[in-house]
Structure 1
Amino acid sequence: MPHGKTLLTASLLFSLTSLNAQATLTTTAGGLGIYDSGLNATWTQDANLLGTWEGAYQSTSYTNIVTAIINASGGVIHDTPNAYDNGTYTLTAADFGNGGTVDWWAGQAFVNYLDTQHYAGSSHWALPTTPDNDASIGYNQTSSQLGELFYNELGGTAGSSIPSGPFSNVQASVYWSGTEYASTPYYAWNFNTYSGNQNYTSKLNQFYAWAVSPGNVAAVPEPNIIWLFGTGLLGYLGLKRRGNIG
Structure 2
Amino acid sequence: MYFKPTLLASALLFASLNVHAELTSYNPNGVELVYSSISDVTWTKDANLLASLISSQGHSTIVDAIIAVTPTITNTPNVNSPLGIYTLSAADFSENGRTSWWGALGFVNYLNSVSYGGSDQWRLPTVATSSDEFPELFFQELGGTAWRPIPNTATFDNEQSYTYWSGAEYSSVPSVFAWVFGNHNGFQGYGLKEDQRYAWVVTSGLVAAVPEADIYAMLLVGLGLLGAVMRRRHAK
Give TM-score scaled by structure 1 length: 0.72
Deviation at 1:173, TM superposition (A): 0.9
Q: Determine the C-alpha separation between the residues in 2 that align with 1:87 and 1:175.
A: 23
Note if contact 1:120-1:218 (Cα within 8 Å) is conserved in structure 2.
Answer: no
Note if contact 2:59-2:95 (Cα within 8 Å) is conserved in structure 1.
Answer: no
Note if contact 1:82-1:184 (Cα within 8 Å) is conserved in structure 2.
Answer: no
Q: Determine the C-alpha separation between the residues in 1 that align with 2:194 and 2:64.
A: 19
Deviation at 1:163, TM superposition (A): 1.1
Partner of 2:139: helix, strand, or coil? helix
Q: 1:183 aligns with which of 165, 168, 172?
A: 172
Deviation at 1:207, TM superposition (A): 0.4
Note if contact 2:24-2:34 (Cα within 8 Å) is conserved in structure 1.
Answer: yes
Note if contact 1:117-1:123 (Cα within 8 Å) is conserved in structure 2.
Answer: yes
Query: 1:82 corresponds to which residue?
Result: 78
Query: 1:232 corresponds to which residue?
Result: none
Query: 2:46 corresponds to which residue?
Result: 46
Letter in 1 for 2:190: Y
Q: 1:144 aligns with which of 104, 128, 132?
A: 132
Note if contact 1:187-1:200 (Cα within 8 Å) is conserved in structure 2.
Answer: yes
Partner of 1:176: helix, strand, or coil? strand
Note if contact 1:41-1:214 (Cα within 8 Å) is conserved in structure 2.
Answer: yes
Q: Determine the C-alpha separation between the residues in 2 that align with 1:212 and 1:143.
A: 15
Matched, 1:92 2:89: yes
Matched, 1:109 2:106: yes
Query: 2:204 corresponds to which residue?
Result: 214
Deviation at 1:22, TM superposition (A): 5.8
Q: 1:156 aligns with which of 144, 147, 150?
A: 144
Residue by residue over 1:204-231, the C-alpha shift from the partner in whole angstroms, topping out at 9 and shown as x without a partner, is 110000010001113369xxxxxxxxxx
Partner of 1:171: helix, strand, or coil? coil
Query: 2:22 corresponds to which residue?
Result: 24
Aligned residue pair count:
190
Deviation at 1:183, TM superposition (A): 2.1
Give TM-score scaled by structure 2 length: 0.75
Can you give the 5+ residue segments of structure 1 that lack an aligned partner in the other structure? 1-17, 137-141, 222-246
Partner of 1:89: helix, strand, or coil? strand
Residue by residue over 1:156-206, the C-alpha shift from the partner in whole angstroms, topping out at 9 and shown as x without a partner, is 000111013300111111111111012211200101111111100110110
Q: Determine the C-alpha separation between the residues in 2 that align with 1:156 and 1:213.
A: 22
Letter in 1 for 2:126: T
Q: Determine the C-alpha separation between the residues in 1 that align with 2:21 and 2:110.
A: 29
Partner of 2:197: helix, strand, or coil? coil
Moved over 6 A (4+): none
Instruction: Indicate the percent of aligned positions where both proteins have the same amino acid.
Output: 46
Can you give the 5+ residue segments of structure 2 that lack an aligned partner in the other structure? 1-16, 212-236
Q: Which moves more between the two structures, 79-88 or 121-130? A: 79-88
Deviation at 1:32, TM superposition (A): 2.1
Query: 1:197 corresponds to which residue?
Result: 187
